[in-house]
Amino acid sequence: MTTDAHATAPDLATTSPFLRACRGLEPSHTPVWFMRQAGRSLPEYLAIREGVPMLESCFRTDMVVEITMQPVRRHGVDAAIFFSDIVVPLKAIGVDLDIVPGTGPVVADPIRSEGQLASLRDLEPDDVTSITDAVRGLVQELGSTPLIGFAGAPFTLASYLVEGGPSRDHRRTKELMYGQPDLWHALLGRIAAIAGQFLRLQVEAGASAIQLFDSWAGALSPADYDTYVRPHSAAVLESVADLDVPRIHFGVGTGELLTRMGDVGADVVGVDWRVPLDDAIRRLGPDKAVQGNLDPTLLFAPTDLVHRRAAEVIEAGRAAKGHVFNLGHGVLPATDPDALTRLVEFIHTYERTA
């Protein structure tokens, strides 16, 4: 791949603590970024988003750039995560959906039949021009700080499309999965192609790493994950393997799936807070870098306890091929931004005492 956006990529790959840790190289310090760091915990985010619907903000180049930059300026994190939403590529190809405040993504015409698959066409560059323009603008502003692109994994996006919105039990999703396996695999195959196309466009515009989010995979048994999901998640990650950027895979409540998620093609496996990081590293083996995994609610605890627990995570992470510090899920909206800033400072200055 040869794009202007990546003209300085080799230097960034060599110097960025985040990218070095992802590749299993020794970083100058433990790198840190936070899922949902660009979002509702920041007053400057709330100010710029006032009166602007979520999906509209994801397609406005200037707003995407500003919101993505906000936590980098405030916290000094080692990577920026592109401000977007996992349903953005679906919206871009014409799926009738909206993000309803207090609810989440809502799909007007849930997919329940084979004839509806035609609505899931390929994602073309012209569908997301404003988004790739934002990536290019961010790469220029970020300089030595890498940008992470991302997409939703096939199972999670399929659940929204089939259920019509968020679900506690994923009943309709599993009903289709078990009862119409051919349709299920056709659906996930289409979603995997779209997710891969979205990731590729972000990297070609300048993103230095990607993350594949599987928010709902924890609802699956290991056997069902292997049969119905794993091949499609692997297809997404394989579709961008030639781009030579670190690939991160993260799921919520996926402790029993960790070894499987580690085998689908990711370089880095995100670990949520339910599994001790040292245990996760044993499950994944010595060839995987890890990301995580402080409980997001610990940020509401006294600072000394937050830092003590953070030190435990850092120490546990030393057993992995590489370790990127993060929370075990996203920053909660009520989090004090200063707690995040203090945590970043602590991680950057932490020295091993043992």
Among candidates 271, 268, 267, 188, which has minimal Cα distance to 235? 188
Q: Is 40 a catalytic residue?
A: yes
307 contacts 294 by C-beta, under 8 angstroms: no
- CA neighbor of 299 nearest in space, from 344, 350, 255: 344
Of 60, 85, 136, 274, which is the active-site residue?
Answer: 85
User: Which is catalytic among the residues 11, 20, 23, 36?
Assistant: 36
Cβ atoms of residues 91 and 196 within 8 Å: no
Q: How many residues does the chain have?
A: 354
φ/ψ of 328, rounded to 5, equals: -80, -5
Q: Are 215 and 330 in contact (CB under 8 A)?
A: no
Asked if residues 136 and 205 have their Cβ atoms less than 8 Å apart, the reply is: yes
Annotated active-site residue 45? The verdict is: no
What are the residues facing 329 on neighbouring strands?
none
Q: Which one from 49, 112, 172, 282 is the annotated catalytic residue?
A: 49
What is the rounded CA–CA span in Å between residue 105 and residue 100? 6
Contact 251, 261 (CB under 8 A): yes
Determine whether 11 is an active site residue.
Answer: no
SS3 122: coil
Active site residue 73: no
* Catalytic hit among 45, 160, 225, 228: 160
85 tagged catalytic: yes
Distance of alpha carbon 116 from alpha carbon 124, whole angstroms? 19
Query: Known catalytic residues?
Result: 36, 40, 49, 85, 160
